[in-house]
Structure 1
């Protein structure tokens, strides 16, 4: 098991035994003294031209990778006619989790107000798909929608209405935004498998469906979005998680920052009559 899995199991066990201690079923909690490994969070790596070329030659790929804006745009352009295009769009630009996409209901989307509410998710548990709350309390959130996202969701709704009319009595009015061709709710693992096939067919370097969430944070940062706003968009309890785990820096942003830093120093030196030179 990975260190992160060990830590999560320990946390669950410690909580359970603490309850037993409070109920005086056990005198102490032996889990409190356990020596735990230190999990290391994998940080997102951007698919630069060099990394992409190396992947094509050797198959080497990062554990967590994000596309550049150009790569994402090319992917979305190539799958524009996919029935679940709006789901991939929301994951890539608004950072929804897989379970949140599967659990999104039509009543959660207000196109006039340009907002969607995340209140539930569909997850796998005990071999079944169950509906439950988002991953954390902060996961219950309102996500702002831009004009293009509203248009994408409007087109998706129109496609769904055509599917409903074509299916007739076979249509299941489940109330979900993303469904099967006959209106039934989607299994979260179906989204994973379908996305993987689309990425392979696109020829773009590989990313996982959850990596789109990392990419959404990275693109928002590149668009000069405040980190607190990105935290709220993703539904994180703390800004530390957003900054440390979900945000990587696109090469063009890093180069722009380097240029601006040098420009600030040079202009300051020039204003002081002390031009710099190597």
Structure 2
């Protein structure tokens, strides 16, 4: 990032009074925002030179959102990163369920079910039922004392 800032400072000095203080990070040599068609053209040239299959610049947004989701990022965070006004746009348009994401979700769901089954088999309930007792002795203990004393 420092390399880019230094280059932009040099461009600002060279432009002198022609410099446009736009506040944008990526600008032309006069500080004006880059034209979207120019950015797309430069990107397509980079893709051709790299030997990668054809991809649009905008496709990178979809990929970034899907990878962030797979990586465990919260959908609200992804929404903010992409600058969407609603989370619905982010969820419906820019994220897709990658096979790895679906697999991780299935594993997490299975873990919840397995953990719940273990708790039930151990007699642990999420909301234990409590009965008020008059004394500190359990009813089963009282019954077993009666049986023993009558023998």
Written as runs of structure 1 = structure 2, the 5 A alignment for 1:195-214 is: 195-214=43-62
Q: What SS is found at the alignment partner of 2:109?
A: helix
Q: Is 1:183 aligned with 2:30?
A: yes
Q: Find the partner of 1:238 among 70, 74, 86.
A: 86
Q: Find the partner of 1:222 among 70, 73, 96.
A: 70
For each residue in 1:66-123, what CA deviation from the matched residue of structure 2 results, as whole angstroms up to 9, or x when unmatched?
xxxxxxxxxxxxxxxxxxxxxxxxxxxxxxxxxxxxxxxxxxxxxxxxxxxxxxxxxx
Normalising by the residue count of structure 2, what TM-score does the alignment of the two structures yield?
A: 0.60
| Alpha-carbon shift at residue 197 of structure 1 (Å) | 1.5
Paired position in structure 2 for 1:253: 101
For each residue in 1:119-178, what CA deviation from the matched residue of structure 2 results, as whole angstroms up to 9, or x when unmatched?
xxxxxxxxxxxxxxxxxxxxxxxxxxxxxxxxx2x331112223455xx36884122432
| Alpha-carbon shift at residue 200 of structure 1 (Å) | 2.4
Paired position in structure 1 for 2:137: none
For 1:253 and 1:156, how far apart are their aligned partners in 2? Answer: 35
Written as runs of structure 1 = structure 2, the 5 A alignment for 1:70-219 is: 152=1, 154-164=2-12, 168=14, 172-176=18-22, 177-180=25-28, 182-183=29-30, 185=32, 186-219=34-67
Cα RMSD, aligned residues only? 2.9
Report 1 or 2 for greater relative contact order, CA contacts < 8 Å, sequence distance ≥ 6.
1
Written as runs of structure 1 = structure 2, the 5 A alignment for 1:21-32 is: none
Residues 162 and 184 from structure 1, CA distance in 2 versus in 1: closer, same or farther, beyond 3 angstroms?
A: closer
Normalising by the residue count of structure 1, what TM-score does the alignment of the two structures yield?
A: 0.36
- Is the Cα–Cα contact under 8 Å of residues 79 and 90 in structure 2 kept in the other structure? yes
Paired position in structure 2 for 1:263: 111
For 2:77 and 2:16, how far apart are their aligned partners in 1? Answer: 42
| Alpha-carbon shift at residue 235 of structure 1 (Å) | 2.8
More strand by share: 1
